[in-house]
Amino acid sequence: MTPDEVRRRAFAMPLTSPAYPPGPYRFVNREFLIITYRTDPEALRRVVPGPLEFDEPLVKYEFIRMPDSTGFGDYTESGQVIPVRLGSQKGGYVHAMFLDDESPIAGGRELWGFPKKLAKPVLRVEQDTLVGTLDYGSVRIATGTMGYKHRAVPMDKLQASMAEPGFLLKVIPHVDGTPRICELVRYFMTDVVLKGGWSGPAALSFTPHAMAPVADLPVLEVVSATHLVADLTLALGEVVHDYLAG
């Protein structure tokens, strides 16, 4: 290949068989279990990167089932999102994500900077309960439960929450191990078609783990829980702060 051919073909690794295709990335029947809990504010201060700020010591723990995803296939995801603001704009800082499919791990990290690691999350219905679990190797590190479809959530409330941006800390090293890219990225979910949303009683527990430290943001009180199903497009991001500039 000539250098021009390399430049034309360069999109993702590996060059000759990228782990994922170019977007857009559409998700059909994406199902969320989101348990919002109160945590230790000092623990949050240790992980939320400026210029992001938080007003309340809250965390959203999410289990997400994605049975039909453009280019990524069928997979499940779990992790922590921290409600934050950038100036006056409210959104969610994605702190940790664990999933069971290599393609979205590679795409999420390389394109947006999602903090994805390989694990075994599950979201399923057991009789009258929606159950989410996360195993890292052989160790169960998170369990979330919610009463199945107890109360409908107003669609306007769900639409407002889905319209807020997400924030990511994208870090890509140079060949010498120093950071080549270190950016705060903002992204949105677009073309959202809500198919239903519900609330109910919920519980959440963590087990400490050296390589999957979700328990470092401990559960002090469960505040609320939401179960929703939607179609959406995951839009590409934009850089809102470059930590290496200047």
Annotated catalytic residue, options 116, 120, 157, 170: 116
46 exposure class (CB count in 10 Å sphere: 0-12, 13-18, 19+) = exposed
- Let me know if 116 is a catalytic residue: yes
Question: Which ranges constitute the DSSP H helices of 53-205?
Answer: 102-107, 155-163
- CB contact set of 171 (below 8 Å; sequence gap of 6+): 113, 179, 181, 182
CA distance 227 to 67: 16
Within 13 Å, how many C-alpha atoms sit on residue 133's CB side? 13
CA distance 65 to 129: 16
Distance CA 33, CA 146 (A): 8
The total of other beta-carbon atoms located within 10 Å of residue 53's CB is 12
193, 231 Cβ separation under 8 angstroms: yes
Q: Which two tokens stand for residue 167?
A: 């924030």
Question: Nearest CA to 59 among 95, 25, 26, 20?
Answer: 95
List, in order, residues 6 or more apart from 149 with CB less than 8 Å away. 198, 200, 227
Q: Which residues are catalytic?
A: 116
